[in-house]
Amino acid sequence: MKFRYKVLIINLIVISIALGTIGYLMIVKNFNLALEQQIENAVEENNLFQASIEYELLNILNTNSYSQNALMDKLSDAGENVYTNISANDSDLYVAYDNNIIYSSSSIDCDPSLWNLVDVGKKNYTIKETDGSYYISVSSCTLLLDKRLNVINHRDITSIYTMMKQQSDYYKLLLIIVLLVCSIFMYILSTLLTKPLEKLQRISQSFGDGDYDIRANIKSKDEIGMLADTYNNMADSVVEHMDELKDMVTRQEQFVADFTHELKTPMTSIIGYADTLRSRELTKEQQLMAASYIFSEGRRLESMSMKLFEFIYTKQHSISAKKLNVMKLMEEVRISVEPLLSAKEISLESNTVNCHILGDLDLLKSAFINLIDNARKASPEGSKIIFSCKQHTAKDDQAPQITISVKDFGHGIPKEHLDKICDAVYMVDKSRSRKEGGAGLGLSLSALIFDAHGATMKVDSVLNEGTEFSISFSPYSEEVTHNA
């Protein structure tokens, strides 16, 4: 069922219950007021009948001699006179004395219970239905010569019941008309209100079918407008992530192609030179040249395979953390990179402090060698690289830290590349990376190693001025152990 129909049905149910309840209460209230008025009129009429009859009997009661028959006749005459003079057309009068009807203005017999149930000096009324008509009877009782004198007036009040029925029927008709009008109005209103939702549903379906450029053009300041804005933001985010995934897939495919080429070229050369050494007579100089080429290509393959191994290792295994002397770590890194730097006549300026951190010596050594090797690739010949360490004491809300940094004075990294340089297959400059023997894995490995040690890496770079990598560690504490 569509939402608009749900809104329509629910509103009709609520309106029906509300209007029906209000109408019923109003009709009942009006009926009760009319009935109370009829009861009050009947009681006043009974008072008038009773007072008039008693006044007619004063003369008899004040005389010294009167008979029982004369009293009965006077009661009958008094009842007839009173009824003739003051009774309304819709009322009947009964006068009973000593439980016998003395006077009756109607041919209908009076129910004896009307005078038997009332106490002396009090009044009583009853309402009964007879053949579809409603009557109210009021009975009063006094003592006349120690016998009960009852004055009963019988009044037709069918009109108020008829009025209530007519009001009820009329209200039902009005209620049906109001509900029909409200149904039409609410259907139009719900259609207008749900139209933006249906539009948003069609847009979502089109987006799901592959139309990623479609957006919701719903301008309103209510919740539907907010929903449309949220949908547009979600669509933009999905498209952005899809573009990133496509870009990542493209870069991964490019990596496979590049790495395949990196493997194929040296392996072809190695096989060729090995076959030459095996099958031909060569001079000593030619043999040395072929062996040197095989050795250099083999080292490059070894380095590349080790990087891949470390990349997988740091993702799937926890590190074996021990207390490390930062000064010793930096010295071993410096010794390892000196042959790489000497080929480009790049000097390494090392500044360190005697402090300790918790970590894996081999992994951290590999990570910092990667950073310095990247700095070497980015630096011109004859420049320098600064490899330094600083110890920061705790202050304000900052914990103590040990920061090891690698700074070069090379070509720098453009700002648009800073967020991607740690991707596993990302290279800022592919041609230079290949020329220097890289495959875009070094920084990714380093970032994973530092992250496994709980360290944070910060990169500051200015184009054509240089780049600085700063890695901050927590100082070693006997109470702290760390697992990746």
d(CA 420, CA 428): 9
Average predicted confidence (pLDDT) for the chain: 79
d(CA 293, CA 287): 10
How far from the centroid of its chain's Cα atoms is residue 470's Cα?
A: 42
What global pTM score does this model have? 0.44
Residues 365-376 pLDDT 10s: 878 888 888 898
Q: How far apart are the first and last CA of the chain?
A: 54
* CATH level 3 topology of 319-473: Heat Shock Protein 90 (3.30.565)
- Write down the CATH number for the domain with range 3-164: 3.30.450
- CB of 175 within 8 A of CB of 16? yes
d(CA 105, CA 355): 126
Residues 296-308 pLDDT 10s: 667 756 755 665 5
Where along the chain do its domains lie?
Answer: 3-164, 222-317, 319-473
- CB of 218 within 8 A of CB of 200? yes
Lowest mean pLDDT among 63-67, 70-74, 126-130, 224-228: 63-67
Instruction: Report the length, in residues, of the chain.
Output: 484
Strands 347-351 and 384-392: parallel
Which of the four pLDDT bands, split at 50, 70 and 90, describes residue 471? very high
**Residue 159 pLDDT > 60, yes or no?**
yes
From residue 457, give the alpha-carbon distance in Å to each of 63, 140, 415, 441, 448.
130, 107, 16, 16, 10
d(CA 472, CA 474): 7
Residues 212-257 pLDDT 10s: 788 877 777 777 778 888 888 888 888 888 888 887 776 666 556 5
Tokens read off for 285? 């100089």
What are 154's strand-pairing partners?
92, 137
Tokens read off for 407? 């700074």
